[in-house]
Every structure is written in C-alpha cells, then in structure tokens.
C-alpha cells in the first residue's frame, strides 16, 4: 500500500510543476501588458503636455505680436501714427515668429455713420463675386442694415423691422440702435454668410466717421466707394505706394478718386486694429487682435476698445446674442 501511495505522489509533482509554470507564464504576460499600457499612457501624457506647452508658446507669441504693434504706435504718437496708414511686418521673437498687421479704423467703412449711398455701394460691389448674392438679396441686406441701425420703427422698402423678424421666427427684433460691434451684422435679417464674410474685414464701428480715409484704405474698401472704377483705384494705389508715409496723396482727395469725393476724408482718427499672429518653431500658430485708441494722456497713453482671439471672438458673438435675446424678452414683457 505504501508503494502505491509513493507512486501517486511522484506522478502529482509534475502536474503541480506544470500548473505553476502556466501560472508564471500568465503572470508574465499580464505584467507585460500592464507595463506596455503604462508606457503608452506615459507617452500619451507626454504628447499632451508637449501640445499644451506648444499652444501656450503660440498664444504668448500672438499676444506679444499685438503688444509689439501697440508699442510701435505709441513710439510714433497719435498724430504720426494716424498719418502712417496701414502696414504689415514680420519679425523673429522669443524663439518663434510674430506677424503684425496695423490698420487705422478710419480706413474702413463705419456701418453706423456711413451714409446710405456708401452702404448701398458697398453691397453692390459684391456683384463681381462668383456665386455672390443676387441684386435683390444685396438690396434687401442693405435696407435691413439701415433699418437695424436707425432709431425708428419705420420700414424701408425691402428693409426689415420688428415685424419682419417676428415673421422669420427670430428671437429678437431690429435693434433700432447703432451696431455695438461688427459681429452684430450676422444678426441682421438678409445678411447671410456670404455677405457677412465679405463685409467683415471692410467695415468697423469705431471710426465714427461717415467717410473713409483714402490714404490708408485697402483696395477692397476703395473699390466699394460709389462712382470709382478699378482702373482709377489701381492708378491711385500705385501712386500711393511710391509716396512716403504722410506725404503725397494724404494731403487731399486724389484726382483719381474725385468721383467719390463725398465719401472720402483727409482726417484719420488715432484708432487702430492690430492683428497679431504667433508661430512657434514647431509650426503651431495662434492669433490675437485688438482695437486700440492712442491718446495724448501720458498717464494713460492708450485705451483698449476691444480684444479678441480665435475663440474669444465667437464667445463675444454668443454673448451678444444672449444679451439681445434678453433685452427682447424684457421689451416684450
């Protein structure tokens, strides 16, 4: 009997060793998978941290670009800066690249103060656009913009007052007040994406002038003036490019643009749009923009009228919608 027991014990040992080996192998596989997962997580977190750092660098460069542009304006002073006109430049900064664009707000069309003729002419310029709005759509948009900014509830032909917004099931009425910001154009009935995208870089609410400063206006703005041709605008721009800043064409209405004399001004207020782009050595980009007013006050040499970035602009637009919706509800209540 003892012999049989001994034989049974001897046969069970290899089985136990086999089970132990399988267990060890499974443990090794589990630990390998665990270690691999840990390494992947570490790598993912490392990439995330690297992206956050890279984005932060791009943001800092973009803000530095705006500040660099502001410094150049302050160095010149309000009068010299106003005569300088629009300009762009690029520079190496902080291990990356900054790009700066400075445009006087007087170089744009103020949608609050521009006369009806100038607003209509601006809209008519879109006739040359491929797949642009029809003549009827342009006329309706122009009339709706004028109805939005005026302080009465009288409906213009093809315009849009409160009843039109109600019929279109909008949650707000015509403002019957000046535009608070250019982004508010998107709320005007009849101003679709095509019209808004065209108008946005050409208009402002900050110049507070009913006319355009020709010496700093872009080609697109000059072409929107009533009565001028492309040939006249191009001839003037060629002459302006050869003149030194503050000289030549800035002294009066240029002869090429005499037909648009009523829409032009020699005065340029010291209010500027500064657009800044920052690009890191790795190629990450960020943008910032500001509207600033240069003053003669040594204690407060400038005022920030508006500040926005790629995301902030949309936040402002959303908040504007909410504020308008709330005011509409208050009026209806």
Q: How many CB atoms lie within 10 A of CB 230?
A: 11
The three state secondary structure string of 173-209 is CCCCCCCCCHHHHHHCCCCCHHHHHHHHHHEECCCCC
Residue 181, φ and ψ in degrees, nearest 5: -155, 160
Flag whether pLDDT at 331 surpasses 50. no
More confident of the two residues 244 and 143: 143
Q: How far apart are CA 65 and CA 97, in angstroms?
A: 9
DSSP, collapsed to helix, strand or coil, labels residue 36 as: helix
pLDDT over 90 (residue 49): no
Round to whole Å and give the CA distance between 173 and 177: 11
pLDDT at 177: 95
**46 vs 299, which has greater pLDDT?**
299
pLDDT at position 40 over 80: no
- Asked whether the predicted pLDDT for residue 319 surpasses 50, the reply is no
Is a pLDDT exceeding 80 seen at residue 317? no
Nearest alpha carbon to residue 274 among 81, 145, 131: 81
User: Could you tell me what percentage of the chain is helix, strand and coil, using 3-state DSSP and rounding each to the nearest 5?
Assistant: 55, 15, 30
Per-residue confidence (pLDDT) for residue 221, from 0 to 100: 95
Model pLDDT, residue 308: 84
Q: Please say whether the beta carbons of 216 and 107 come within 8 A.
A: yes
Q: Is the pLDDT of residue 9 over 70?
A: no
Look at residue 21 and tell me whether its pLDDT is greater than 80: no
Looking at residue 313, its pLDDT comes to 40
Q: Which one, of 283, 282, 279, 275, lies nearest residue 310 by Cα?
A: 275
Of residues 44 and 307, which shows the higher confidence score? Answer: 307
Provide the whole-model pTM. 0.74
Range 213-217 average pLDDT: 90
Highest mean pLDDT: which range of 17-21, 164-168, 263-267:
164-168
β-bridge pairing 264-265 and 212-213: parallel
Least confident span in 49-63, 71-85, 233-247, 300-314:
300-314
pLDDT in tens, 261-313: 999 998 888 899 999 999 999 899 999 999 999 988 889 999 999 888 764 34
- For residue 11, pLDDT beyond 60: no
| 152, pLDDT greater than 80 | yes
Measured between alpha carbons, how far is 256 from 236 in angstroms, rounded to an integer?
Answer: 6
The half-sphere exposure of 291 on its side-chain side, counting CA atoms within 13 A, is: 15
**Residue that wins the pLDDT comparison between 145 and 131:** 145
* Residues contacting 223, CB < 8 A, separation 6+: 125, 230, 233
């Amino acid at each position: 009997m003892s012999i049989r027991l001994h034989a049974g014990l001897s046969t069970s040992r290899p089985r136990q060793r086999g089970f132990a080996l399988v267990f060890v192998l499974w443990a090794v596989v589990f630990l390998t998978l665990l270690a691999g997962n840990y390494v992947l997580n570490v790598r993912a977190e490392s990439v995330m941290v690297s992206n956050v750092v890279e984005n932060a660098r791009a943001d800092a460069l973009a803000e530095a670009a705006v500040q660099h542009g502001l410094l150049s304006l302050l160095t010149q002073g309000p009068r010299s800066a106003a005569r300088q006109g629009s300009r762009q430049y690029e520079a190496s900064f902080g291990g990356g690249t900054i790009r700066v664009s400075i445009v006087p707000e007087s170089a744009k069309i103020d949608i609050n103060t521009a006369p009806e003729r100038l607003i209509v002419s601006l809209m008519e310029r879109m006739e040359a656009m491929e797949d642009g709005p029809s003549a009827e759509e342009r006329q309706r948009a122009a009339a709706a913009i004028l109805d939005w900014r005026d302080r009465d509830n009288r409906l213009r032909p093809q315009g849009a007052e409160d009843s039109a917004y109600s019929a279109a099931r909008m949650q707000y009425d015509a403002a019957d007040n000046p535009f608070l910001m250019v982004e508010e154009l998107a709320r005007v009935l009849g101003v679709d994406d095509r019209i808004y995208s065209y108008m946005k870089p050409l208009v402002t609410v900050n110049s507070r002038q009913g006319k355009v400063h020709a010496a700093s206006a872009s080609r697109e703005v000059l072409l929107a003036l009533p009565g001028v041709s492309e040939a006249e605008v191009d001839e003037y721009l060629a002459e302006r490019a050869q003149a030194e800043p503050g000289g030549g064409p800035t002294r009066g209405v240029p002869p090429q643009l005499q037909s648009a004399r009523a829409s032009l001004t020699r005065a340029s207020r010291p209010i500027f749009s500064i657009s800044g782009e920052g690009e890191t050595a790795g190629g990450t980009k960020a943008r910032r923009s500001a509207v600033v007013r240069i003053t003669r006050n040594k204690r407060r040499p400038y005022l920030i009228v508006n500040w926005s970035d790629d995301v902030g602009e949309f936040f402002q637009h959303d908040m504007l919608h909410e504020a308008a919706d709330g005011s509409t509800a208050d009026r209806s209540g």
